[in-house]
């Protein structure tokens, strides 16, 4: 038996997850959210006459998070499997005796936990939308500044045709815009949870729907038609969207990491470069791999949430437990990915000269399609394709540039003058709708974000 | 070396996946969809003056799926990695020579494949929505017929309190309604794809956005702001939602399988029971395990789609390939889950007597909360809980019923008369908002489905 | 904008994960492990003459975890992306100036992190094997005590034929035995990592393999043929096996939760029952859902590790980062599942009378195959199956028992006397190899665990 | 409602999955394997005296796959949920009446399906091992030929230090060797399945273990201690290992795709380059993205298998069904990944000149660590690092080479002569253990593969 390495800690904090979201999801925040829910349940019940107004007030007064010892609750949660049971007990003790009987009336642990989770989710969404907006603003700036910066578009990692860095940034922007829009719509649909022991709200008599409606209003959550103890679609939609947003952010990170390669060298991610413990020259990407890894972990956690939808009868057996933990991971890692990408785009260094120079690698054959286009009116598409392909093969075999190789193809020079060949092979002349796409993306962002960039 | 087992087939067809969706996704359907896209690209280009109208007509005429040998294309696809390249070649050969040069103008393989996938997705959604509606109709019927059928609600697989089978069906219904609503919204947002070689539509000059808009209109797809070759969020949202719908269906299957247990015996799934090759008495659930398994496979495939969002530059390196295949699996298995659940609810046998009888197992302690509620006004919640808990422990220790045990607790009998205890312990009197929830769920389904059930 | 819920914590500690493994993986433990690796690198280099012995001694002296402020290192790790860079810096400062140059000689951050991870993995394996052994001992006891306790075997949740609870425990035992064996074999193969900046150990000249060998010996790890910076199979095999062990544990939990159902009532999990905040009678399973959920999270994390195998060139871009974090989750949740299952089996309550009684539900048709077997010698299998099926249908239609129904089938009574029917329908007479299987499982456990139970 | 695209097909065959494995897993192969199992069950039972020898012979004679209409069985399987029930029925009809009663004696559907799956798994393993060996042979050749071919090692996609292409190939080789070894060991442990209706083999009386042993021997499978109907670890270990092998193959594909980038241009994958439908110059990687995608799908499917380990009681409810389908996907995609990688390495084009030239990008700073090493003996590690870092920063700021920048650092030139600087910066002089690692990897492959390459 080996000497065992142990400490009392909770594991190394993740460099991939969002520390701010860790705060939103922390025990203290969760206790605060659960207390808010308890207070609002009592208030809603007072409103319909189920609970005396004074009792509801007394409960509200006791629902101050600072009155509770979070560490003690945390330990007790370890035994019960969740925070609800010790918290309800502690709250009851905190409430004056004559109001005590009205605490947690007709509610069940899952009502507390789910409603609190929706409050926490709302805060996570707000944080995410803020970050997406900030990334968006940076992308708008990049898109505008580089609307004319030609670079190679790359498909399957091979240079394809010219594009602009502005268009690349406009794509990044679009994904952020979509995420803001969809998260905003999900935020408005986060439902309060109130079902009681088994979903009938039996202990509230006929007042169930009325109490639920008032509770939801007070919490600023949506009113559910029915309790959703084992109808987990709202949670699954949320998890999926956060993972989608994280994946979109990671696409930015992936593009940047690929553009940062020593052999490409077109951009450098923002923030301090990562040193190496062995190599003095290294300027490692730091945020890009972190964002990529975080998005992957968020996607996997979202997969658990999707897989946990089928929950048993009126409370899931393990499926609910797995979902809760996975949802928190989606939030932590999803926000982590987004935050790392914000660091990437804030202060991204762009090297337009290198972008232009790289287009000349491989003899400038990235303009081959442009040359085809120039030939099509005369010889048709198939023949044009064949001619240019032959010129490209010559470049590949003998070196030199496509311009030179084209000049040696009589079938081409009989159609195009040298200056026409030059014009066809000028990247800035073969950008199609790139500029319009940039404008469309910026316009849509401004509309969704409700801001004017300039 | 062992003698190898081989044949020429494509593997056993899955009993879990939807055969109808397999049809929608089959090579022939895919070729038909791709040809429709090619025809509409030419038509859109003709509309803006890029292509002669006659050429567009000639192309449209050649875009008849019956003109092509699907098996040959399939084999060629095996070599190229996808169907687009051999199909464009075959189409070009099919078009008269003077129109040939206008085939596939300015488009790339992914434009074809993505746009066709969106057409196929639309068909899958239509099929899914039809099934969800049919399940919904069956659930409405169950919910109404059993609005007063008491049964045990079960949390963590333990009997909790009474509920009704009608409410259970109303929950199933709600999930179907949500799915219909969200799939409908996604259906309207499925975007056409047109970006050309690398997303600039360079070969279309300034006409990119105009052609894209006309193409989308003709295909009945949404107009994208920009091409989305590597912005895969639309695909991911679609995959997630289909997996969510499948998961919701599987929850029905799971409930039914649990209720079918020999020891529970409250329902039997629709369709012929599954025989056993060994045991004469077996009436195995057939559709329930299939639906559960199919939903799990759909969720895993959706996880791949989420994980594949970060795609490299202007065309993904493997990520796109994995996403495509996974999306098809989401469709196949997602629809499979839904179809199996339709078989479950169509003709579901319900045994109200057994439901009622099961509530008396464990001495009827499933009514314990009801008894607490009856005592609260006199002694407060904590004391009421304590008293009833003591009675429950007596039942557990000595057997007998909660009614009897309560009768032996002087602290209880001093508050409640025997007939009051009886009333408290009558399940049908402790159903809270169950009936209202059923109504709410039915009403919402009728609104979303646009039908009146009666 | 909502008022945001925040605190400084690291999130609620998981009730699903193992707190002891959280200790093994905590920052302090990780720092200790990394320091041990640094000390042994220097010692190994001294041994081959690359480093003066005094320098190695000085480094070893500085590699005391208590000399370092773990919280400071943790903060610095947040900036660098990992602990290695700040730790090497701190260690260098701690070492006397003349030895300082020999610190971390020829090594890279990943050497430290991977080697330390293998040391931590070894501790996790030791903990897991201890737990599996303890579960195994409890299962041996259950298997022996209940070798004759008849109960219903259930396939697809339908009663199938009789089995024994002893055989069920023997299956649980077998899975623990397999896990012990495979984890033991993996423990012996955990490789040290030493590759230097990019896997050539260039800074060690010709001494690379010799230093690696000595380092591995000193750490008690396996000697790798080559560094494995981006050959992640050892990590993947480890993650998969821990997830497999967790899944096997969760099968025990699932069986127990199903047997605990109110309607089945055959066992109660060990440990204090889970209370409900609403229902006095509830004895919720606590450990079973936790184990099921933990295993699911471990499996998902293992899936991330599998997916992260393809890592870029000589150091992964995000793939390595995702793998590290996922591996830690596999450990935390995998051990959590196993620990919860230990709590389940230690003190599991078994109710043999209820097991026997449940076999009589459905008229005792769980013995139908036994009756078929009794008839086969006279009428052949097909006819026997047909006759018994008819009797079973009669039971299903009219109620009563299979014994009575068989007595009414003349084709049966013409072959079997009433007492022969009774004998055929006696569960204890139709257990086949159950006893032998129990013995085989116990014997194998004793051999693998190297202990004699009695 | 849209016009629906449908056909009768089973979906487009995947370009990612292995067609040969599709053959092994096809219905005909599966029927053949199941018939072999039935024949051997009867033979084993005859051997212990349970079945007349003539009956066993008659059954064996009927177990010829050509006697059965596979398409009919396939359709019937669609109704029953699996092939076993219709096949047993068809087999019984094929056997002469007096032997008919002995068909499938004491066995259950899952016995057939699991045992047949293990036979199919063995064939898949054989195919995989053949492919791994072939890839290994190609890697040996690459490793030897390029043992001195210097290239840049890349960490986080940044050039790090020199390495050799031979060493890269040796890493690829090592992973193949490990896979062969582990698959070989798993092949020997694939267990036969025989448990009967519910795992007691009750219908075989006391003969259960003896029959199982003889069955396993005849099938060439391992003898299980107990049936493993719901102990799914053997399947999970198999799925995990195939996914691991696929991931290792995909790492080769990923390296190749990165090295194929236009800006890197160091290798070209084997096989015909992929054309583009739009761009004449494109030489797309075809097999690399396919292998990457296939490995990802295999990993996801393996994740389903891991997640499906906890199966209910004596037969899983959906978990078993999901596992079966996922296992087949692991096989199909896993083998697909491996086959695509074989195409990559067979005929891989390598460009040593470009490899060498790329090392000079970034002013040759990839040799910075080498220069540090040369300075350490004089000034210690920290100072050497600082000096070289300053020179690297000069290169980054002003351009030029590290050689020139070092020549301008007086602190460096005061220690090292120009020719010493040159020597330090010569890549071929800074390869450490690369050659030894190559030899170790080749030697181990030869031992495991049992072949001598030369």
The CATH code of domain C19-355 reads 1.20.200.10
Q: Which pLDDT score is estimated for A277?
A: 66
Alpha-helical runs (H) found in B190-309:
208-219, 233-259, 287-307
CA distances from C23 to A16, B234, C18, C20, C117 (A): 20, 42, 9, 5, 13
- What is the per-residue pLDDT across C191-232, written as a single tens digit (0 to 9) for each? 999 999 989 999 999 999 999 999 999 999 999 999 999 999
Q: Is A62 exposed, middle or buried (0-12, 13-18, 19+ CB in 10 A)?
A: buried
Which region among A361-365, C166-170, D280-284 has the lowest average model confidence (pLDDT)?
A: D280-284
> D360 near D401, Cβ under 8 Å?
yes
D11 — pLDDT class (breaks 50, 70, 90): low
Q: In angstroms, how far is the first alpha carbon of chain A from the final one?
A: 66
- What is the per-residue pLDDT across D45-87, written as a single tens digit (0 to 9) for each? 999 999 999 999 999 999 999 999 999 998 888 777 789 999 9
D49 has a chain C CB within 8 A of its CB: no
Q: Which pLDDT score is estimated for A75?
A: 86
Which region among A429-433, B3-7, C401-405 has the lowest average model confidence (pLDDT)?
A: B3-7
B6 — pLDDT class (breaks 50, 70, 90): very low
Which member of C160, C306, C441 has the closest CB to residue D197?
A: C160
Q: Which pLDDT score is estimated for D8?
A: 40
- Please give the distance of CA C69 from its chain centroid, rounded to a whole number: 34
CB atoms within 10 A of CB C216: 22
Residue A235 and residue A243: Cα distance in Å, rounded? Answer: 12
D9 — pLDDT class (breaks 50, 70, 90): very low
Which residue out of C144, C145, C315, C444 is catalytically annotated?
Answer: C315
Searching chain C, which residue's CA lies closest to the CA of residue B257?
C157
Residue with tokens 């060493």: D167
Please give the average per-residue pLDDT across D416-437, as a whole number: 95
B81 — pLDDT class (breaks 50, 70, 90): confident
Q: Tokens representing C56? A: 């190695």
> C236 near C309, Cβ under 8 Å?
yes
Which member of A156, A262, A265 has the closest CB to residue D285?
A: A156
- What is the per-residue pLDDT across A210-269, written as a single tens digit (0 to 9) for each? 999 999 999 999 999 999 999 999 999 999 999 999 999 999 999 999 999 999 999 999
From the list D431, C228, A208, the residue with the least C-alpha distance to B439 is A208
D1 — pLDDT class (breaks 50, 70, 90): very low
- What is the per-residue pLDDT across D298-335, written as a single tens digit (0 to 9) for each? 999 999 999 999 999 999 999 999 999 999 999 999 99
Which residue out of B189, B276, B428, B433 is catalytically annotated?
Answer: B276
Interface list for C 88-107 with A (CB within 8 A): 88, 104, 106-107
Say if residue A278's pLDDT is above 80: no
3-state DSSP: chain B helix, strand, coil percent, rounded to 5?
A: 65, 5, 30
B9 — pLDDT class (breaks 50, 70, 90): very low
Q: Which pLDDT score is estimated for A396?
A: 86
D435 has a chain C CB within 8 A of its CB: no
Say if residue A6's pLDDT is above 90: no
Kindly write down the DSSP assignment for every residue of C261-327, as one continuous string.
STTT--EE-SSPPBP-SS-TT--B-SHHHHHHHHHHHHHHHHHHHHHT-S--TTB-SSHHHHHHHHH
CB atoms within 10 A of CB B396: 14
Percent of chain A with pLDDT over 90: 83
**Residue B253 with chain C: CB contacts under 8 Å:** none
**Residue B109 with chain D: CB contacts under 8 Å:** 276-278
Query: Average pLDDT of chain B?
Result: 93
From the list D105, D79, D77, the residue with the least C-alpha distance to D92 is D105
Cα dihedral across residues C320, C321, C326, C327: positive or negative: positive
Which of D293, D311, D327, D340 to mutate against chain B (most B CBs within 10 Å)? D293
Say if residue C187's pLDDT is above 90: yes
Q: Which pLDDT score is estimated for D5?
A: 39
Query: Average pLDDT of chain D?
Result: 93
Cα dihedral across residues A327, A328, A331, A333: positive or negative: negative
Say if residue D7's pLDDT is above 90: no
Cα dihedral across residues A310, A315, A321, A326: positive or negative: positive
Which region among A8-12, C102-106, D235-239 has the lowest average model confidence (pLDDT)?
A: A8-12
Please give the average per-residue pLDDT across A295-312, as a whole number: 98
Whether B276 sits among the annotated catalytic residues: the reply is yes
Whether D276 sits among the annotated catalytic residues: the reply is yes
Say if residue D3's pLDDT is above 70: no
Residue A304 and residue A7: Cα distance in Å, rounded? Answer: 30
From the list B302, B79, B12, the residue with the least C-alpha distance to D331 is B12
D385 — pLDDT class (breaks 50, 70, 90): confident
Say if residue C154's pLDDT is above 90: yes
Q: Which pLDDT score is estimated for C277?
A: 66
**Residue D194 with chain C: CB contacts under 8 Å:** none
Residue A427 and residue A422: Cα distance in Å, rounded? Answer: 10
**Residue C153 with chain D: CB contacts under 8 Å:** 197-200, 313-314
Q: Which pLDDT score is estimated for D277?
A: 66
The partner residues of A152 in beta bridges, in order of sequence, read A162
- What is the per-residue pLDDT across D145-192, written as a single tens digit (0 to 9) for each? 999 999 999 999 999 999 999 999 999 999 999 999 999 999 999 999
Which region among A277-291, A429-443, B143-157, C170-184 has the lowest average model confidence (pLDDT)?
A: A277-291
Q: Which pLDDT score is estimated for A8?
A: 40
Complex ipTM value: 0.95
Residue C78 and residue A15: Cα distance in Å, rounded? Answer: 6
Cβ contacts below 8 Å, chain A against chain B, sum to 323
Give the range with max mean pLDDT: B390-404, C153-167, D64-78.
C153-167
Please give the average per-residue pLDDT across D255-260, as a whole number: 98
Residue C171 and residue C249: Cα distance in Å, rounded? Answer: 11
A1 — pLDDT class (breaks 50, 70, 90): very low
Percent of chain B with pLDDT over 70: 96
Which member of B244, B300, B314 has the closest CB to residue A303?
A: B300
Q: Tokens representing A246? A: 């994280």
Per the model's pLDDT, the better-predicted residue between A328 and A13 turns out to be A328
- What is the per-residue pLDDT across D352-382, written as a single tens digit (0 to 9) for each? 999 999 999 988 898 998 999 899 888 887 8
- What is the per-residue pLDDT across A63-89, written as a single tens digit (0 to 9) for each? 999 999 999 998 888 777 789 999 999
Q: Which pLDDT score is estimated for B76?
A: 86
- What is the per-residue pLDDT across D101-114, written as a single tens digit (0 to 9) for each? 899 999 999 999 99
Searching chain A, which residue's CA lies closest to the CA of residue C301?
A300
Kindly write down the DSSP assignment for every residue of B5-30, as one continuous string.
---SS--PPPSSS-HHHHHHHSHHHH
Say if residue D343's pLDDT is above 60: yes
D279 and A152 within 8 Å at the Cβ level: the answer is: no
Say if residue A292's pLDDT is above 90: yes
Please give the average per-residue pLDDT across B268-286, as a whole number: 80
Angle of CA points B171, B370, C351, to nearest 5°: 85
Say if residue A98's pLDDT is above 90: no
Alpha-helical runs (H) found in C48-108:
53-62, 70-80, 84-94, 97-100
Listed by start position, the domains of chain B span 19-355, 365-424
Say if residue B2's pLDDT is above 70: no
Angle between helices A109-145 and A165-189 (to 10 degrees): 160
Q: Tokens representing C168? A: 């069920």
């Amino acid at each position: 038996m080996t000497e065992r390495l142990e400490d009392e800690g909770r594991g190394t904090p993740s460099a991939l997850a969002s520390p701010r979201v860790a705060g939103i999801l922390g025990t203290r925040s969760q206790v605060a959210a659960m207390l808010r829910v308890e207070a609002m349940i009592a208030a809603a019940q007072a409103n319909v006459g189920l609970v005396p107004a004074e009792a509801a007030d007394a409960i509200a007064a006791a629902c101050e998070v600072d009155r509770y010892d979070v560490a003690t609750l945390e330990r007790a949660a370890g035994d019960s499997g969740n925070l609800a049971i010790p918290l309800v007990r502690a709250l009851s003790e905190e409430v004056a005796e004559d109001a005590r009987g009205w605490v947690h009336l007709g509610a069940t642990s899952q009502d507390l936990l789910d409603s609190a989770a929706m409050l926490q989710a709302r805060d996570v969404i707000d944080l995410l939308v803020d970050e997406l907006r900030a990334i968006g603003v940076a992308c708008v700036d990049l898109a505008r500044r580089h609307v004319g910066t030609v670079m190679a578009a790359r498909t399957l990692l091979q240079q394809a045709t010219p594009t602009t860095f502005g268009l690349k940034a406009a794509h990044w922007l679009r994904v952020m815009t979509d995420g803001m829009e969809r998260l905003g719509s999900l935020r408005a649909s986060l439902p309060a949870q109130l079902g009681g022991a088994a979903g009938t709200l039996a202990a509230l008599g006929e007042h169930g729907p009325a109490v639920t409606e008032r509770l939801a209003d007070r919490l600023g959550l949506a009113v559910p038609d029915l309790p959703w103890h084992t109808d987990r679609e709202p949670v699954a939609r949320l998890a999926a969207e956060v993972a989608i947003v994280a994946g979109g952010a990671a696409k930015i990170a992936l593009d940047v990491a690929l553009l940062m390669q020593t052999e490409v060298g077109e951009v450098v991610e923002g923030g301090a470069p990562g040193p190496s413990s062995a190599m003095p020259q290294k300027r490692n990407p730091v945020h890009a791999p972190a964002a990529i890894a975080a998005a992957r972990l968020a996607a996997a956690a979202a997969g658990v949430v999707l897989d946990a939808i089928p929950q048993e009868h009126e409370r899931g057996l393990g499926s609910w437990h797995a979902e809760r933990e996975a949802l928190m991971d989606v939030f932590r890692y999803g926000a982590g990915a987004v935050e790392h990408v914000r660091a990437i785009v804030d202060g991204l260094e762009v090297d337009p000269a290198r972008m232009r120079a790289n287009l000349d690698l491989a003899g400038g054959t990235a303009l081959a399609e442009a040359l085809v286009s120039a030939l099509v009116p005369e010889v048709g598409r198939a023949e044009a394709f064949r001619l240019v392909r032959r010129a490209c093969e010559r470049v590949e075999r003998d070196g030199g540039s496509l311009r030179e190789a084209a000049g040696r193809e009589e079938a081409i020079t009989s159609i195009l003058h040298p200056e026409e060949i030059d014009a066809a092979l000028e990247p800035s002349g073969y950008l199609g709708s790139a500029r319009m796409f940039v404008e469309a993306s910026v316009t849509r962002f401004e509309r969704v974000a409700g801001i004017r960039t300039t």
